[in-house]
């Protein structure tokens, strides 16, 4: 027997879907033939849904089935067009409002356990003694064993002023510790570092573009101006996935002349076509500027980098950006759900769209198409420098990050530096003023790795195993196989030397983790500056006026130019 509630849900489905089409103003947008095709599609979807939900051999959960249908439709588009359900708007609200109600912790998985990775100073978790490295065992009496970070996050966040009970396990403590924490309204930290990396050279690290990011950047500039003579600025957008478009425009306005074109958008509907101009006098109009970017810089980060580059206001340093030139609009479709839809493409001041992947076309193998370099159109900056469309923003000075090697990657992935810093912090509550990782401390780390039974496979091991399998299959002689075995033993010997082989990188990672654990996030970030190649190149270029100006120098414009 079919329950009345489910039948009611199914019968109303077609009406709801069709009504949502009308509410979006589609009647005005499409001709009658197009609207008829849309209605028929909605009707077919509704009928298939009803037949399956009522007659499938096993009972079907109507809401899960509907969600699968919606997700299936959206997967034919781009990855940014998504349905946002009742329990999925948390991160979206965080970006759009610039705040959330929680206890002030950042969490993630370490060794399969949900672990505290960072603390927001001045809020409940930090004030009441939660520490970085604490493993969350229970939230409000419910075990978090096997839980995902997003599950824990949903339980910890809630209504400001309410309590959350948390049981944690801590390195060096024999028994779990219980806390009663108070949820508070916590502003998102968009800027995680402001300071001088060298006399006169300010540095701002911007990690996201939430609603409050523009104010945070302005406050950082004010702080730098108050601290000393600001001769040049590095704005670090590496690994910044973006956020709100209007906030990106507002941040660019701090550096460029008022009424400068920052970005424009064009879409299918006429109301998607807009031009965004800088709307205020710049705070630092003439201070030399370097923007740091990498493959993790996307969306709003690329709007900022693209505008600064096209207006020749500063230099871009690092690696080519992600290549997301699409704009999303969020539409509420019920009290508890929304849909985020790609409604436009954005274009930098020169007129280029930096979108990397063409989601409207696929290859014969089902792979989304990209534009080859030979077919990319060229555009011109204010100084008539040549820049290309598609594929992200190409830096003016390309500085690739060094490949640190498999051993370092595995140590990071398995959280060995993180866990060692936890044990170190148990017996070291303070650090010397100029703390450095000594050979003795490195030896302690090596012993720690042995205790943890840390192991990994070198790329050479994998390739040698493949070679040996092929050799045996092809019936190579014993002498060859013996040589392969000898090489295998030599590789094993080199693995034992990993501390010596990667001494520089290991000291750098250990220093950062230990500084962060004992002196806080800002000290952790500052400890990475000496080994940061991209930052050091940017600083060198800012200190060398001739090199800086040469990168921004164009050529006289000609009416007969051909691209």
How many Cβ atoms from other residues are within 10 Å of residue 110's Cβ? 17
pLDDT digits (tens, 9 = 90+) for 25-79: 444 555 678 788 888 888 898 899 889 989 999 998 988 898 899 999 998 899 9
Average pLDDT value for residue range 244-266: 96
Distance of alpha carbon 30 from the chain centroid: 37
pLDDT at position 110: 85
- Give the model's confidence band at 10: pLDDT under 50 very low, under 70 low, under 90 confident, else very high: very low
Task: Give the number of residues written for the chain.
Answer: 563
> Does pLDDT of 8 surpass 60?
no
pLDDT at position 21: 45
> Does pLDDT of 337 surpass 90?
no
Q: Tell me the percentage of the chain whose pLDDT exceeds 90.
A: 61
Helices marked H in 75-133: 90-97, 124-127
- Looking at every residue in the chain, the average pLDDT score rounds to 88
> Does pLDDT of 2 surpass 90?
no
By the 10 Å C-beta count (0-12 exposed, 13-18 middle, 19+ buried), 436 is classed as exposed
Query: Which one, of 92, 307, 95, lies nearest residue 212 by Cα?
Result: 95
pLDDT digits (tens, 9 = 90+) for 134-168: 999 999 999 998 888 888 888 898 888 999 999 99
Q: Which residues are CB-neighbours of 420 under 8 A, at least 6 positions away? A: 445, 448, 510, 513
CA–CA gap between residue 84 and residue 371 (Å, rounded): 31
**Hey, what CATH class is 99-187 in?**
mainly beta
Query: Which one, of 391, 372, 394, lies nearest residue 381 by Cα?
Result: 394
The residues of the chain that CATH labels 2.30.42.10 are: 99-187
Residue 187, H or E segment? strand 184-187
* CATH classification code of 192-398: 3.90.226.10
Q: Tell me if 272 sits within 8 A of 245, measured CB to CB.
A: no
Query: Which one, of 389, 385, 252, 382, lies nearest residue 311 by Cα?
Result: 382
Joined together, the tokens standing for residue 439 give: 């050979």
pTM of the shown model: 0.85
Query: Which one, of 150, 158, 154, 89, lies nearest residue 334 by Cα?
Result: 89
Q: Which residues of 373-411 are buried (b: 16+ CB within 10 A; e: fewer)?
A: eeeeeebbbeeebebbbbbbbbbbbebeeeebebbbebb
CA distances from 148 to 75, 102, 246 (A): 24, 17, 33
> Does pLDDT of 563 surpass 70?
no
pLDDT digits (tens, 9 = 90+) for 502-554: 999 999 999 999 999 999 889 999 999 999 999 999 999 999 999 999 999 97
Q: Tell me if 326 sits within 8 A of 355, measured CB to CB.
A: yes
The residues of the chain that CATH labels 3.90.226.10 are: 192-398
pLDDT digits (tens, 9 = 90+) for 103-115: 999 998 887 889 9
């Amino acid at each position: 027997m079919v329950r009345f509630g489910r039948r009611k849900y199914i019968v109303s489905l077609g009406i709801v879907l069709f009504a949502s089409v009308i509410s979006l103003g589609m009647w005005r947008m499409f001709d009658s033939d197009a609207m008829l095709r849309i209605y028929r599609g909605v009707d077919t979807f509704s009928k298939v849904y009803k037949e399956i939900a009522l007659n499938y051999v096993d009972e079907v959960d109507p809401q899960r089935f509907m969600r699968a249908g919606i997700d299936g439709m959206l997967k034919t588009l781009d990855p940014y067009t998504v349905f946002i359900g009742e329990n999925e708007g948390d991160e979206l609200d965080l970006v759009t409002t610039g705040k959330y109600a929680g206890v002030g912790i950042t969490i993630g998985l370490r060794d399969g356990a949900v672990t505290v990775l960072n603390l927001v100073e001045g809020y409940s978790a930090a004030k009441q003694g939660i520490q970085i490295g604490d493993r969350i065992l229970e939230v409000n009496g419910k075990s978090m064993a096997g839980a995902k970070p997003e599950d824990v996050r949903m339980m910890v966040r809630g209504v400001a002023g309410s309590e959350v009970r948390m049981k944690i396990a801590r390195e060096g403590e024999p028994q779990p510790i219980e806390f009663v924490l108070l949820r508070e309204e916590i502003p998102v930290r968009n800027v995680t570092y402001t300071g001088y990396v060298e006399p006169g050279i300010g540095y701002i690290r911007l990690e996201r573009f939430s609603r409050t990011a523009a104010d945070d950047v302005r406050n950082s500039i004010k702080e730098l101006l108050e601290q000393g003579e600001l001769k040049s600025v590095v704005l670090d957008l590496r690994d910044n996935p973006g956020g709100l478009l209007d906030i990106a425009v507002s941040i660019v306005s701090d550096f460029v002349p008022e009424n400068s074109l920052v970005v424009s958008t064009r879409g299918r509907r006429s109301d998607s076509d807009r031009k965004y101009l800088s709307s205020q006098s710049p705070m630092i109009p003439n201070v030399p500027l370097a923007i740091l970017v990498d493959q993790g810089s996307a969306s709003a980060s690329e709007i900022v980098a693209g505008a600064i580059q096209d207006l020749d206001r500063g230099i871009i340093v690092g690696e080519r950006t992600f290549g997301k030139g699409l704009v999303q609009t969020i539409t509420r479709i019920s009290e508890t759900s929304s849909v985020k839809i790609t409604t436009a493409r954005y274009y930098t001041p020169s007129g280029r769209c930096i979108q990397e992947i063409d989601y409207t076309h696929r290859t014969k193998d089902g792979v989304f198409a990209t534009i080859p370099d030979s077919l990319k159109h060229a555009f011109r900056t204010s100084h008539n420098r040549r820049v290309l469309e598609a594929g992200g923003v190409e830096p003016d000075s390309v500085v690739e990050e060094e490949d640190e090697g498999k051993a370092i990657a595995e140590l990071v992935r398995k959280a060995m530096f993180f866990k060692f810093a936890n044990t170190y912090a148990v017996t070291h509550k303070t650090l010397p003023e100029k703390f450095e990782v000594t050979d003795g401390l490195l030896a302690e780390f090596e012993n720690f790795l042995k205790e943890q039974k840390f192991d990994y496979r070198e790329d050479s091991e994998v390739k040698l195993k493949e070679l040996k399998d092929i050799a045996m299959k092809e019936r190579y002689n014993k002498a060859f196989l013996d040589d392969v075995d000898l090489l295998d033993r030599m590789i094993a010997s080199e693995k034992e030397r990993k501390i010596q082989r990667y001494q520089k990188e290991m000291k750098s990672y250990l220093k950062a983790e230990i500084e962060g654990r004992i002196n806080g996030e800002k000290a952790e970030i500052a400890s990475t500056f000496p080994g940061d190649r991209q930052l050091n190149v940017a600083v060198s270029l800012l200190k060398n006026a001739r090199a800086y100006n040469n990168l921004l120098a164009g050529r006289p414009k000609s009416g007969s130019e051909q691209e």
